[in-house]
Amino acid sequence: MRTAYLVGGNKAASQFESSREGALMPSNSETVVIIGGAVIGSFVAFFLRKQGFKGHIKVIERDSTYQYSSTALSAASIRTQFGCPFNIGMSLFGADMFRNIKDWFGDDANIDFEERGYLILGSEASSDTLQKQAREQMEHGAVIDILSPDQAKQRFPWLNVEDLGIATYGAANEGWFDAWALLQLVRREARRLGAEYISDEVVGVDVNGGAVTGVRLGNSGTTLACDWCVNAAGAWGGKIAGLAGIELPVEPRKRTIFHIKAPLPGEGFPMLFDNSGAWIRPEGDGFIAGIAPEECRDPNAEGDFEPDHYLLEETLWPLLAHRVPALEQLRVQRAWAGHYEVNLLDHNGVVGAHPEVPNFIHATGFSGHGVMHSPATGRAVAELITQGGFRSLDLSPLGFERILANRPIVEAVVY
């Protein structure tokens, strides 16, 4: 059995010597400190226990109400229509869990998973590309219907298809769910399994001898010794990495969601992604919708949760009304804003350790995919710690090495 805590640089250096050679040392009886207690951090804690980790698990969350958590403020959707196989695999695992949520969290578990699919629309010019992508997605386990404009109109009569060339629809493993309910389930189970949640803010990450040895807390003034540290801080993932002297290009970007009502039935309505970038799906007795702002109006949003109301009038409403004529008449119920944890390099998550600090594992930067990929991410990080590498799904393309090499992943299906 290895020592429970790292307290000196020499021990840390020798302990992780082989890790610098490219392999993480598996652990089953030490202390893991997880920075960030929302859905990704909670799934890390959950899967550590599921994989037999016997040591201490301490989860640090600065916003214990989760009022500003990206998890709670997200559109809570899941899709398999990605260009990269690992993203498809992560979604397939998540969808299977959501569909069988009671098997994971008990008979009272419910996240209201609506498996209705994404309807992604393309122009005539993009038809060949989107069709090729859909066929590749199906090769990796996705279930996709490729529709001509006429077929899309027949299936969704409210849709304007006059300027479309193709539509792809996720016939299984896609839809939306209650992210707040999912967070409460996994957090409750992680605590039941012995994970300790601490309400505090991380103000320092101590690195000695090439390893994280402690995490400093601002409110209590204490330092938590650790053998492993997981950066699951979401939109603040870049700042947390910086506390350890590591550059990670992850920043918060604000995304506004509008809850609207319109003379349009929600029954059978999918998650609609227009080729303009606008999106809309049913929610309660209405719909929620949004669109990303122009890059020049999309700064670092730290501390800014004020909805960008201008987006509806200037951009979103005209696009929605063009694609779904019934949306020419809509009424705004409310609007809110949350943060995307945007990886400025390539808008894909970072899962893995910096090669020079191998016990500091990052699980952040998912750029809007974090909630849907949280089960697969939590399982992957737990495998790194308990088994020394990815076992269920190879997420090595998401490793830190590409950040250091400035080698972005090309994900063709980005929304």
Beta bridge partners of 208: 211
Q: Are 143 and 171 in contact (CB under 8 A)?
A: yes
pLDDT at 9 over 60: no
Q: pLDDT category, 410, cuts 50, 70, 90?
A: confident
Residues 343-359: pLDDT tens digits?
999 999 999 999 999 99
pLDDT digits (tens, 9 = 90+) for 273-327: 999 999 999 999 999 999 999 999 999 999 999 999 999 999 999 999 999 999 9
The DSSP output letter for 292 is: P
60: phi then psi, degrees, rounded to nearest 5: -100, 125
Q: Is the pLDDT of residue 329 over 70?
A: yes
DSSP string, 59-71: EEES-TT-TT-HH
Q: What is the pTM of this model?
A: 0.93
User: Measured between alpha carbons, how far is 40 from 372 in angstroms, rounded to an integer?
Assistant: 10
Tell me which residue of 149, 121, 153, 124 sits closest to 134, measured CA to CA: 121
Q: Domains plus CATH for the chain?
A: 9-71+180-249+346-404 (3.50.50.60), 115-172+255-342 (3.30.9.10)
**With contact defined as beta carbons under 8 Å apart, do 165 and 125 qualify?**
yes
Q: Is 124 exposed, middle or buried (0-12, 13-18, 19+ CB in 10 A)?
A: exposed
Secondary structure letter of residue 31 according to DSSP: E
| pLDDT of 6 higher than 50 | no
- pLDDT attached to residue 28: 67
Query: Looking at the predicted structure, is the pLDDT value of residue 8 above 60?
Result: no
Burial class of residue 51 (count of CB atoms within 10 Å of its CB; 0-12, 13-18, 19+): middle
Identity of the amino acid at 25: M
DSSP 9: H
pLDDT in tens, 264-276: 999 999 999 999 9
Q: If you count them, how many residues does the chain have?
A: 415
Give the end-to-end CA distance of the chain in Å, rounded to a whole number. Answer: 47
Q: How many angstroms separate the CA atoms of 414 and 346, rounded? A: 10
Full 3-state SS string of 330-352: CEEEEEEEEEEEEECCCCCCEEE
